[in-house]
Amino acid sequence: MSKLQPVRGTHDQLPEDSRRARHVVETAREMSARYGFGEIATPIFEFTDVFKRTLGDTSDVVTKEMYSFEDRGGEGLTLRPEYTAGIARAFISGGLSQQVPLKFFGHGPMFRYERPQKGRLRQFHQIDAEIIGVAGPQADIEVIALGHDILGELGVREQTTLELNTLGDVESRNGYRDVLVEYFSAHLDKLSDDSKSRLTRNPMRILDSKDEGDRVLVADAPRMGDYLNAQSAEFFAAVREGLDNLGIAYEVNQALVRGLDYYTHTAFEFTTTALGSQGAVIAGGRYDGLIELMGGPSTPGIGWAGGIERLAMLAAAEVPAPRAIVIVPVGEAAQSKAMKIAHDLRQAGYVVDMGYSGNLAKRLKRANKQDAIAALLLGEDELAKGVATVRDLTSGDQSEVAFDQLVSALDTFRQSQ
């Protein structure tokens, strides 16, 4: 029988990995709460149509990357490849249109069948932030500022660059689309097969192509910024002015696009080269046409998603485990009392571990190895006197403390846990 392994593109989050991932989530959750975002959690699978409508039947995600299946009732279901569509669906099915504006923060696993690489997995995890119901540039500024501040709290902002662009409004996009069709049609023989099929359906997706031949053509393609109407230009100017006012540095990147028609105005990415190649750790944009496309009322929205694995790798620093107080019972008679003391201390808020087996020296060595802050020794003498020997594993000092005084006597160790 072959050795069991995790499925390619997945990995086990062992305790150290989980601590680092939790650090990213908790940092983002706390900062989002400061900005007035409420937490949301949507199911990890939806009806397949939720993603086909929002991502487009011809997108790579839909045609190549989604994990879709038919359940026992014959329903077509898909593990979520991204968060925004599920949140938009929740907005519609929950009848939340009368409660706008709404701010949502979420996190959880996503699933895409793609080539695994550094920081990219087939089951990966994201933090997500959305503002729904605000049409003005204030929402764009605020949601970008939130991402900026989360990166700052994680200590990784200096390793990233905020790239910013505008996609214009519907009128600007339609005009730009015609220009792109004309440009790429003149180079039809050089386009990849995928891009040829996109030319009539959504030529802006060609700008996202990873094909090397397409990239050469894209480099000389017309830029959206040259085809903005007055309203779109004013909107983008307001976003930039707002970021300048907050002291948030950015670079305008006219090659940064979103191929789907419901995206309008602001597109942005916080990118880094610190993980080996240029890549986004947070990416987002304004999607004013999404909710209406899904069958809901016309409702503006903007948001972003950030890769937890990539952010944890960027942060790099180990997130230490809490320093436990280890209880070391010596002899069978001490086992029951040790469990009772451990329970009482945990109820009082202490992090407590048990030194289960081995002689005293081995158990203390194990406690030191796990960076425990203190050890409570319980043997026959301690039981007879109704005390525990408390050893400070940092200084080596030890003293005897009555059982009923332990909760208060150990208070000096709380700050180091």
The residue extents of the domains of the chain are 15-169+229-315, 325-416
Q: How far apart are CA 211 and CA 232, in angstroms?
A: 30
Q: How far apart are CA 171 and CA 173, in angstroms?
A: 5
| Confidence bin at 57 (pLDDT 50/70/90) | low
Residue 209: its pLDDT value, please?
A: 81
Domains 15-169+229-315 and 325-416 share a fold: no
Closest CA to 125 of 313, 317, 322: 313
Sorted by sequence, the CB contacts under 8 Å of residue 127 that are 6+ apart come out as 24, 25, 28, 105, 106, 107, 150, 305, 306, 308, 311
| Confidence bin at 1 (pLDDT 50/70/90) | very low
Q: How far apart are CA 255 and CA 207, in angstroms?
A: 7
Rg of the chain, C-alpha, whole Å: 28
For 122, which DSSP code? S
Instruction: Report pTM.
Output: 0.88
Phi, psi of 207 (to 5 degrees): -65, -20
The answer to whether 13 and 121 have CB atoms below 8 angstroms apart is: no
- Strand order across the 251-252 sheet: 38-39, 102-111, 123-132, 301-307, 279-286, 264-272, 161-166, 251-252
Average pLDDT on 167-190 reads 92
| Confidence bin at 60 (pLDDT 50/70/90) | low
The CATH H-level superfamily of 15-169+229-315 is: Bira Bifunctional Protein; Domain 2 (3.30.930.10)
Q: How far apart are CA 268 and CA 247, in angstroms?
A: 16
Residue 58: its pLDDT value, please?
A: 53
The CATH H-level superfamily of 325-416 is: Anticodon-binding domain (3.40.50.800)
HSE on the CB side for 29, CA within 13 Å? 14
| Residue 186 or 208, more confident | 186
pLDDT digits (tens, 9 = 90+) for 241-280: 999 999 999 999 988 888 677 899 999 999 999 887 658 9
